[in-house]
Chains A and B, each alone.
Chain A
Amino acid sequence: MEKKIKELEEKAKVIRRHIVEMIGRCGSGHPGGSLSAADIITVLYFHILKHDPGNPKWENRDRFVLSKGHAAPVLYAALAEAGYFPKSYLKTLRQIGSSLQGHVDMLSLPGIEMSTGSLGQGLSAANGMALAARLDKRSYRVYAIIGDGESQEGQIWEAAMTAGHYKLDNLTVILDHNKYQIDGHVEEIKGIQPIADKWRAFRFNVIDGVNGHDIKAIIKALDDAQRHKGKPTMIIAETVKGKGVSFMENRPTEFHGKAPTKEEVIKALEELI
């Protein structure tokens, strides 16, 4: 297990390098919220999810929905590393004709389960997949990552009510709780606290206080979620926006939707060795 954790930590570093490089190259994108989710995505794609990059439409695969669709680069990096498409393709991010759209597009890229970008919609879609699994008596699980700013969308709470009402225990939702949104600190813009209580009130099993950058802690939370019956699970992952790149961590709002310069990319890659 220690070896596996070491491997995953290395993989997360590789994914962070891809994120910085691809956003830097194209000159636009969302580095902060991609970097904050990098460890969670790494654990999902390289340890938890039952999936087959050679057969992306395998019927009993686990489904993953990136409800915070602007973090597309972290998912593209993971899919490329997993073998869904060549890593060289990451260079085409946000370019005309590329399948690597600014926000994820399920029709153009294998491995994307739902097109997202307009916040709140992905969680509802994940519920639909979980209901389908139940109807078809299939064992696959559904995972969704949502964001802090996204938690201000009304649809998140409509979807929360649905998952709670239908007791979707084949659904695990992870909140990438990095505390920032484009305009600033979430609690200053429009506070979402007490967030764990909110999800409990919406009939979720809540696992809070999980260090979203500690591979071992992420694995444990996801395993616990899978074992919990009768309710969907919300994992509140405490994360740092821009995690892994010191100057992005210190300026979280500046690097929400802004690409690093060439010099910043070089500096960031030096930190991610």
Chain B
Amino acid sequence: MAELASTRDAYGKTLVELGKTNKNIVVLDADLAVSTKTSLFGKEFPDRFFDMGVAEQDMMSTAAGLASCGKVVFASTFAVFGSGRAWDQVRVSIAYTRSNVKIVVTHGGITTGEDGATHQANEDIAIMRAIPNMTVIVPADAIETVNVIKSLVKEHGPAYVRLSRLATPVIYSSADYDFKISKGVTISPGSDVSIIATGIMVSLAKVAAQQLEKEGISARVINIHTIKPIDKQLIIKCARETGAVVTAEEHSIIGGLGSAVAEVLAENMPVPMIRVGMMDMFGESGPPQELLEKYGLTSNSIVLAVKNVLKRK
């Protein structure tokens, strides 16, 4: 079992580290600072931290106003609220204006768990990806989260970063790997099929690939941390070299990573493909691990999808 580390802890700590040298960083939260870990920044730099209360729409447009005066603004809440609740504010105030606002949300996907369907963002990647100018990122682990946050501060413009509630298996041994926004990462080589995953599903894709290897199937594992702009070249290369693709995401199969990969392949390199993800339905309350099992977001689901897609090769 891989070591676990929390992506939201990594976010909070990185914000504090960056805040020490970059006095332009301002952080906003909407009454979830303890959960999103922006409270760490608030404790260290109270003058540059604003709790906007339960008012996500106001928070997003306020962030744009601060950014228009030269601030590097981080705005955090849960994924459902940062995407759906404030979608129009993100679209007009932040994306249309190409504001330097980084929307970093936690509690993405079904692993939000016991809070139930209202709080499980299974559609956020789809709706954020549809907005022009918006970069959409789902880090695979805590180490990648640090790389993402540090890279975003160096680039002007809006971004949506989706983190998890749960501690996530650590993929990378150190932050010193070839990380670049929009550039996919090959986690392990393989020649029969490519498993293209994002977020917590990257670790499950690794487990699936190990299982498949025992059965004589060579599966390549790719981490697509940046869903928009997506690494087209890498996806096309994988399809060309392995001839079949399975995508895996903790998100609806409509509009997320699976859709983005399908769009690339359909226009450039059509190969047999299966999407593993949340079916077109709402979740429910329950322990995260049990929910992953019930809704088919497991390494076994990926293994099964690989076997099925290979039949069509």
Tell me, yes or no, whether A135 is within 8 Å of chain B by CB: yes
> Would you call B62 and A128 a contact (CB within 8 A)?
yes
Question: Are A124 and B65 in contact, CB atoms less than 8 angstroms apart?
Answer: yes
Please measure, in the bound complex, the distance between the C-alpha atom of A165 and the C-alpha atom of B51, giving whole angstroms: 11
Q: Which residues of B contact A133 (CB under 8 A)?
A: 69
Question: What A residues does B98 contact at CB under 8 A?
Answer: 107
Contact assessment for B65 and A161 in the assembled complex, using a CB-CB cutoff below 8 Å: no
Chain B contacts for A122, CB-based, 8 A: 61
Binds B, one of A20-28, A71-79, A151-159, A252-260: A151-159
Query: Which of B55, B68, B69, B92 is within 8 Å of A121, CB to CB?
Result: B92
Question: Which interface class (under 10, 10 to 19, 20 to 34, 35 or more) fits A?
Answer: 20 to 34
Interface residues of A in 144-180 (CB under 8 A from B): 154-155, 158-159, 161-162, 165-166
Whether A129 contacts B65 by the Cβ 8 Å rule is: yes
Nearest CB in chain B: distance from A152 CB, A: 14
Q: How far is the CA of A105 from the CA of B61 in the complex (A)?
A: 15
Give the CA-CA distance A114 to B62 in the complex, in Å: 11
A155:B97 contact, CB within 8 angstroms = no
In the complex, the answer to whether B66 meets A132 with C-beta atoms within 8 Å is yes
Q: Given the complex, which residues of B lie within 8 Å of A233, measured CB to CB?
A: none
B65, A155: Cβ atoms closer than 8 Å: no
A110 within 8 A of B: no
Does the CB pair B58–A132 fall under 8 Å?
Answer: no
A80 at the interface (CB under 8 A from B): no
Indicate the size class of the contact surface on chain B: 20 to 34
Cα distance, A155 to B57, chains bound together (Å):
7
Kindly state whether residue A115 has any CB partner on chain B within 8 Å: yes
Which of A107, A116, A127, A154 is close to B62, meaning CB atoms less than 8 Å apart? A127
Partner of B92, one of A113, A118, A128, A132: A118
Please state if B66 and A121 are interface contacts (CB–CB under 8 Å). no
Q: B53 interface residue, CB < 8 Å from A?
A: yes
Does B303 make an interface contact (CB < 8 A)? no
Q: Are B88 and A124 in contact (CB under 8 A)?
A: no
Q: A142 — nearest CB in chain B belongs to which residue?
A: B65
User: How many Å lie between the Cα of A115 and that of B66 in the bound state?
Assistant: 14
Contact (A132, B69) CB under 8 Å given A155-B57, A162-B55: yes
In the complex, A75→B53 CA distance in Å?
A: 32
Min distance, Cβ A223 to any Cβ of chain B, angstroms: 24
B61 adjacent to A121 (CB under 8 Å): yes
Q: Kindly list chain B residues whose C-beta atoms are within 8 Å of the C-beta of A105.
A: 96
Query: DSSP majority for the A interface?
Result: helix
Decide yes or no whether A90 CB sits under 8 A from chain B: no
Among A122, A124, A166, the one with the most B-chain Cβ atoms within 10 Å of its Cβ is A124
Residues of A within 8 A of B50 (CB): 131, 166
* Given A124-B58, A135-B47, A162-B58, A113:B68 Cβ within 8 A: yes
Interface string of B53-97 (1 = CB under 8 A from A): 101011111111111111100000000000000001101110011
List A residues 39-79 near B (Cβ within 8 Å): 65
Complex-state Cα separation, A135 to B48, whole angstroms: 8
Chain A residue numbers with a CB within 8 Å of B57 are: 120-121, 124, 154-155, 158
Report whether B97 and A115 are in contact in the complex, using a CB–CB cutoff of 8 Å: yes
- B52 contacts partner chain A, Cβ-Cβ < 8 Å: yes
Distance of A114 Cα from B45 Cα, bound (Å): 27
Q: How far is the CB of B47 from chain A (nearest CB, A)?
A: 7
Q: Closest Cβ of chain A: how far from B257's Cβ, in Å?
A: 29
CA distance A165 to B58 in the complex (A): 13
**B65–A125 contact, CB under 8 A?**
yes
Q: Mark A222-256, 1 if CB is under 8 A from B, else 0.
A: 00000000000000000000000000000000000
Cross-chain pairs A/B with CB under 8 angstroms, 28 sampled: A105-B96, A114-B93, A115-B96, A118-B88, A118-B91, A124-B62, A124-B64, A125-B62, A125-B93, A126-B65, A127-B65, A128-B64, A128-B67, A128-B68, A129-B68, A131-B65, A131-B66, A132-B26, A132-B68, A132-B70, A135-B48, A136-B69, A155-B89, A159-B58, A159-B61, A161-B55, A162-B53, A162-B62
18 extra interchain contacts, Cβ-Cβ under 8 A, other than A115-B92, A121-B93, A161-B58? A105-B96, A115-B93, A118-B88, A118-B91, A121-B61, A121-B88, A124-B57, A124-B60, A124-B89, A125-B64, A127-B62, A128-B63, A129-B68, A131-B65, A132-B68, A135-B48, A155-B57, A159-B62
The interface of chain B, by Cβ under 8 A from chain A, is 26, 47-48, 50, 52-53, 55, 57-71, 88-89, 91-93, 96-98
Residues on A facing B (Cβ under 8 Å): 65, 105-107, 113-118, 120-133, 135-136, 154-155, 158-159, 161-162, 165-166
